[in-house]
Amino acid sequence: MEISASLIKELREKTGVGIMDCKEALKESDGDINKAIDYLRKKGIATAKKRGGRTTSQGQVQAYIHAGGKIGVLLEVNCETDFSAKTDDFTNFTKDIAMQIAATSPISIDRESVPEDVLAREKDIYATQVRESGKPEKIIDKIVEGKLKKFFSEVCLLEQPFVKNPDITVQDVLNEIIAKTGENIIIRRFVRYQLGDSGE
């Protein structure tokens, strides 16, 4: 099918992706702009993975103070170039992620950085709960695995539903900005302060 220039322009404005990629996505999606966005997002993930090894020494430290001054977040997000670090897209992304952290209080960026003792404690609690509910021993591990998956989606920043659109995860939002900028972007570290919280 013939893809109109106006459709390509619309997709490009919505995604920030190059003209040829937009054209290909629209062809693959029979001109359906929403399907084309999904196609590009999926492709963005592949592109993001390819960019994963590139050095990220630029970026921003973003501060977010929640209304009333009771919760504050400091966040470092890195990218490859100073040019990208200064764009509105990058700034908005860092602001959104800082707000996400304030709202959801994750304990780590990804499941690999969940402290071992926390993970061991959760596994133990889930296994005990399942045993006490009378489930057969052979399915306990499977049930514990399912409960851990839910636990990760609550406490790991990248696996959390995005507060502005719970249909996607923070990882999806990160993949979108990587696809848009063409750079490797890493959420490096964060700290969240809550008034009166001892940090225990």
Domains and CATH numbers, the chain: 5-51 (1.10.8.10), 58-110+156-194 (3.30.479.20), 115-154 (1.10.286)
- For the residues of 17-36, what is the DSSP string, one character each? --HHHHHHHHHHTTT-HHHH
Give the per-residue pLDDT at 161. Answer: 96
The sign of the CA dihedral 9, 14, 17, 22 is: negative
Q: Are 163 and 157 in contact (CB under 8 A)?
A: no
> Where do we find the tokens 């996505």?
25
pLDDT digits (tens, 9 = 90+) for 126-173: 989 888 888 888 888 889 899 999 999 999 999 999 999 999 999 999
Give the per-residue pLDDT at 54. Answer: 60
Higher pLDDT, 37 or 51: 37
In 31-136, where does DSSP find H-type helix? 33-51, 82-85, 88-104, 116-132
Percent of the chain whose predicted confidence (pLDDT) is above 70: 90
User: For the range 152-156, what are the long-range contacts, defined as Cβ-Cβ under 8 Å and sequence gap of 24 or more?
Assistant: 152/111, 152/114, 154/104, 155/106, 155/107, 155/108, 155/114, 156/106, 156/107, 156/108, 156/109, 156/110, 156/111, 156/114
Q: Are 159 and 171 in contact (CB under 8 A)?
A: yes
Token code pair at residue 56: 């990220």
- The answer to whether residue 71 scores a pLDDT higher than 70 is yes
Q: Are 29 and 36 in contact (CB under 8 A)?
A: yes
Task: Measure CA of the first residue to CA of the last residue in the chain; give whole Å.
Answer: 60
- The answer to whether residue 72 scores a pLDDT higher than 50 is yes
Residue 200 binned pLDDT confidence (cut-offs 50, 70, 90): very low
- The answer to whether residue 14 scores a pLDDT higher than 80 is no
Residue 198 binned pLDDT confidence (cut-offs 50, 70, 90): low
25 Cβ contact list (under 8 Å, min separation 6): 11, 17, 36, 37, 39, 40, 43
Give the per-residue pLDDT at 162. Answer: 96
**Single-letter code of the amino acid located at 74:** L
Q: Are 64 and 35 in contact (CB under 8 A)?
A: no
Q: Which of 33-37, 50-54, 93-97, 125-129 has the lowest mean pLDDT?
A: 50-54
